[in-house]
Amino acid sequence: MLVSEILKKQTYEVLTIGPGRTVLDAIGVLVENKIGSLLVKDDAGQIVGIITERDILIDSAQNSSRLAETLVSKIMTTDLATGSPCDRVVDLLNLMTQRRIRHLPIMNGAELAGLVSIGDLVKSQLMETQSENDHLKEYIQGAG
C-alpha cells in the first residue's frame, strides 16, 4: 500500500506555525485542535521543522523555560524526516521506528501533501493484512 492511499482518506487540514511564534502559542494550537504536532513553516511557505508535544516537554524539563517567551524556532526539530505519496507504508513505518518519531510530513516535491502519524500507518497496514487474510480464506473455502 502506498501513502497516497492514506492521504486520500484524510479529511483534516495539516496545521502549521511560524518559527517566530512562541512555544505558548504552539501549545494553544495543539490543545485547541487536540493534536500532537505542528509543522513549522517559514514566511516563504517552506516547511523548516516540526514541533511536537515531546519537544515542548523536553525543553520544559531541561530548561524550565518560560513558554510565553521561548520561540518555536528554539526547540523545533529541524532534522526533518519526510515521506512521499509514492512511498510504501511499510517503508515509512520502518523510517519512523528507526527515527523514533510519531508524525511524518508527506512532501510532493517541495509541496506539502499531508501529515501521517504512526497510528495512521499501523491502521492501514492492519486493514491491508485483514483484507488479504479474508481473500485467502475465501479462496481456500472456495477451492474445497
Domain boundaries defined on the chain: 3-143
pLDDT score, position 141: 86
pLDDT score, position 96: 96
- CA distance readout (Å), 123 to 9, 19, 41, 120: 12, 32, 28, 5
List the pLDDT tens digit at each of the 144 positions of the chain. Answer: 889 988 888 888 899 999 999 999 999 999 999 999 999 999 999 999 999 999 999 988 887 667 788 899 999 999 999 999 999 999 999 999 999 999 999 999 999 999 999 999 999 999 888 988 888 888 888 865
Q: Which residues pair with 30 in a beta bridge?
A: none
Contact 85, 3 (CB under 8 A): yes
Amino acid (one-letter) located at 99: R
Contact 40, 64 (CB under 8 A): no
Instruction: Identify the CATH class of 3-143.
Output: alpha beta
Distance CA 27, CA 1 (A): 34
Per the listing, cell 520561540 goes with 71
pLDDT score, position 144: 54
Q: Which three cell numbers stand for residue 135?
A: 481473500
Maximal C-alpha separation, the chain: 70
Helix residue ranges per DSSP H, the chain: 3-9, 23-33, 53-63, 72-75, 89-99, 118-143
Amino acid (one-letter) located at 54: R
DSSP code for 15: P
